[in-house]
Amino acid sequence: MQQALLLADKAEAEGEIPVGAVLVSPTGEVLGEGWNRSIVLSDPTAHAEIQAIRMAGSALQNYRLIDCTLYVTLEPCTMCAGAILHSRIGRLVFGASDYKTGAIGSRFHLFEDYKMNHFLEIRGGVMADLCSAKISAFFKKRREQKKQLKLIDIR
Ligand SMILES: [Zn+2]
């Protein structure tokens, strides 16, 4: 999760919502890394989780990531939860909950409603304070920047 937080900083440096993800093999090897790049890539699917899953699939030359663990700083959305399901990841560890779009219990619970065809172990709230503080600070800064822009407009 520590590493996922560092990747979240990369997203922030690019003006993206600071979310980072790391995909690790059963033996602890890092197979994929990702951070939000939707704006930079003009790609609404370029969430941190999707990036990490793509990189790991390419590294393993396999579309199944069986027994791998995905660490992500924010609760995955429905799109990413779907990708997690299709990739057959064995374990999901996430930080902050997302009450707006979280699909692992906060807003929706994809893995509860879905007729599961594989077993996924889920652990949320890991380093949640750090993960959510990073996102809150980002939005606070962005609101202040917008306010500053408005002030400049008036003058
Ligand atoms: Zn997502």
Question: Do residues 7 and 32 lie in contact, with contact meaning Cβ atoms separated by under 8 Å?
Answer: no
What percent of the chain stands above pLDDT 90? 85
Single pTM value for the model:
0.92
Distance CA 11, CA 142 (A): 14
Distance CA 85, CA 28 (A): 21
Å from CA of 49 to ligand 1 middle: 6
Question: Do residues 38 and 48 lie in contact, with contact meaning Cβ atoms separated by under 8 Å?
Answer: no
Give 12's contacts (C-beta < 8 A, 6+ positions apart).
18, 134, 138
How many angstroms separate the most distant Cα atoms in the chain? 60
Distance CA 145, CA 44 (A): 23
Å from CA of 87 to ligand 1 middle: 14
Q: Which helix (H) or strand (E) holds 75?
A: none
Å from CA of 103 to ligand 1 middle: 9
Q: What is the pLDDT of residues 63-118, one digit of tens each?
A: 999 999 999 999 999 999 999 999 999 999 999 999 999 999 999 988 876 555 56
- Residues with catalytic roles: 49
